[in-house]
Amino acid sequence: MQFITCSECSQSNPENSLYCSNCGAPLNTTVPKPEKYTGYYARVFNEFDNVGGEFKPTWNWWSLLFGPFWYLYKGIWLKGVILLVLPFTGFLAPFCWIYSGVCGNYDLYLLQVKNKQFW
């Protein structure tokens, strides 16, 4: 049987204990959070978390290239439909295009982390 030594009081605790039996200090401070996102999106989502979940411009080539289709593919259907329809009004097309590239990551963050389909 393995033991974990408490960093606070040096008490030996059974390896599966979460808190020290002597002083109650948490033992596994390195327990990883359940990782829902990996790779690229984990990094961008982290950046948003670091600014308190506020909008921060990022650049996503996929959402820029595929625009509304990327939105629909990612399940952000409400904004996807808006971005699909708006360019037909004419002058808004360039705006929608840039918007997809700069705000795509954040919109995905809003949906997956904040559970918000809309702004």
Nearest distance from residue 12's CB to Zn ion, in Å? 10
Q: Determine, following the binding rule CB under 5 A, whether residue 8 of this chain makes contact with Zn ion.
A: yes
Q: Determine, following the binding rule CB under 5 A, whether residue 22 of this chain makes contact with Zn ion.
A: yes
Q: Determine, following the binding rule CB under 5 A, whether residue 27 of this chain makes contact with Zn ion.
A: no
The 3 state secondary structure assigned to the chain is CCEEECCCCCCEEECCCCECCCCCCECCCCCCCCCCCCHHHHHHHHHHHHCCCCCCCCCCHHHHHHHHHHHHHHCCHHHHHHHHHHHHHCCCHHHHHHHHHHHHHHHHHHHHCCCCCCC
Binding-site string for Zn ion from residue 36 to residue 75, where x marks contact by CB under 5 A and - marks none: ----------------------------------------
Nearest distance from residue 23's CB to Zn ion, in Å? 3
Nearest distance from residue 53's CB to Zn ion, in Å? 35
Q: Determine, following the binding rule CB under 5 A, whether residue 19 of this chain makes contact with Zn ion.
A: no
Give the residues lining the site for Zn ion (CB under 5 A): 6, 8-9, 11, 20, 22-23, 25
